[in-house]
Structure 1
Amino acid sequence: MRQGSTTSHSLGGKQAWYNEVLDVFAALFLGRPSAKLLRFVPNTNEISERKNELRAPTSLLSASAAANTSSGDQFIADIVLPSEILLVRALAIPKTARSKLEEISTLDLARRTPFKASDVYAAVSLKDVVADDLHATQWVIKRTEVDAIIRRLGNASVRVRKVLADAGGNLVVLTDRSDVIAPYSAIWRRMNLGLVSLAGLLAIALWLYPGWRAQSAAKALEPKLAEKRAEVVETRQKLDQKSETATSTEQFLQAAIRHPRLVEILRNLTVALPDDVWLSDVVLRNGQLVVSGETSGSAADLVLALAKSRELNDPKLSGPVSRTAAGSERFQIALRVGAVK
């Protein structure tokens, strides 16, 4: 049961639908019973329901109430006490002390009235702000009076969940007895908390399961991935080897194309030499051709004749010229050969 002072919260007007939703939620998930609003009205002798509210005779507020005013139905209600049976106190506190309104009102009640906080139910709410002061209203009622009203309503088949005060259209809570009329609400709350936690864990598990499954599948694929990587490396090495072989072959072919064949050189040399020349040696090394032989003519004229050939380049005597016993000249001529055109 909530005891002592409490700050006001509206239970009517624009917040009515909001509080109805909260009551339904609390009834379903927190084990708190739902209740209807009960007001005390004159000129009635029994408890009745009108416009989703309960109406009870004001006689139930006094000790002289009839023993039984039951309508035959069982109700759980939040009762609204009229201001006539409440002690209504006006308070003024500094604006800077707004967060301590409840403590200040309780202290002021103990200092300025003969009541102790343990002897009364009290509620306080802000009224307005004037200059630097906050004006508030405090409603106070003895606990013994509230207990007597609750007993009389119990005899009339009404179980009281909350005791409220009418603060000019808004309702403030004097005491909340939800735990008294619903003693197992704590068990409901623990059960619902457990179910919500279980649902949350299940949702987390369902959310994480695809990732865990993908991670397991990735680990299972790691050996195959390593094998494929090794195959790729081996294939790359083979390709590199083939590329090197192809490069060597290409270089050989290019060299063969760039260097003329010896038969072509001999043919060009035969065409360029006069008929009175006999060759004894022909040496080809790194594009340099050296020929030795005899001629019945002049070796110098032979060099001039070779210089006229397009296939044989830069002919020159590379050794001494000598005469044979038959009168011929022995020579050695060096020249360069290029690609066959």
Structure 2
Amino acid sequence: MLLALLVLPGLRAASARVVEITEIDLEDLTGLRQRLSGSRSGPVTLRLAGALVLFKSQSIPRKAGRKARKVLDLRASAIEEGLGEPIAVATRAMRRTGQERTYSQAILRRSDLDQILTAVTTSGAMVRQVVAVDPEGAELVFVDGRARADRGAWLWWSLGALCLLAVLLWKLWTLEAREGWYLAALQAAERNATSAQAALETAMAASETTEEAQAEVDALLAALDGDRGAVRTLARLTEALPRQAWLQSIDLRSSQLTISGSTSGPVQEVIDALDRVDWTASVGLDRPVVLDRVRQQSNFDLTLDLARKSLP
């Protein structure tokens, strides 16, 4: 059962059917729902027509490094203020030229994206991706259902690790109780032995058994030591999150920690809560927030730059 818990979430779904979305579909949502109603048995990838999306090429100095994402977010905010309505932004790094790096951005009205997702939901289809193809042929992703599936799989793996840890702790406690029983049996044998030879044989047998039990305990402690840091980090992050937020995955690379999750409240509250953790230097969005209108939740991806102090 534990093996199924760990393996099944990692399986991948079948390839998705591609559906082109045009301006006509936004004007005729009923027709769009009818087109998507035939996709109940599998996922769909929605490819937005170029007329629905504004494409922009952004050049940022390479020395900006990790701050490039913040620069792109600021420029997107300026565009949103100019339009006077919320927007959805998909970004992809394209190429490096000299001292600059070029990014391609696709900008879509948030209201248009919400209408498309609502039509998909009411038709019973399942969204695999919502993408737009820029003039250079690069795919920019607005919604990635595969990433959420991967985060769900990672959550299952984490739960499986916690279950395994609980089993190992129970086994450790059982071994400690068994060792105490052996010691009590040895003391009783020493008091009640009728001859020195019988007492000696009993003591030797009990000693050998105790050594075997201790070896099993040492092996379990060594096995536990490998998972303890990840479990402690997961627990500390969960404690820091607001009550209405849930953590789905963590990924530590060098001095940067990437986490994914969802919240029914403002994402800014999650960022402020994690920014107060003593071992984080800064917290920022790794990609734009995705609003799930059906579940009334916001799915977020955050990047935590770690301070010099090590993880818990």
TM-score range, shorter chain: 0.3 to 0.5
For the pair shown, which has the larger CA radius of gyration, 1 or 2? 1
Using the size of structure 1 for normalisation, the TM-score is 0.41
Structure having the larger proportion of residues in helix:
2
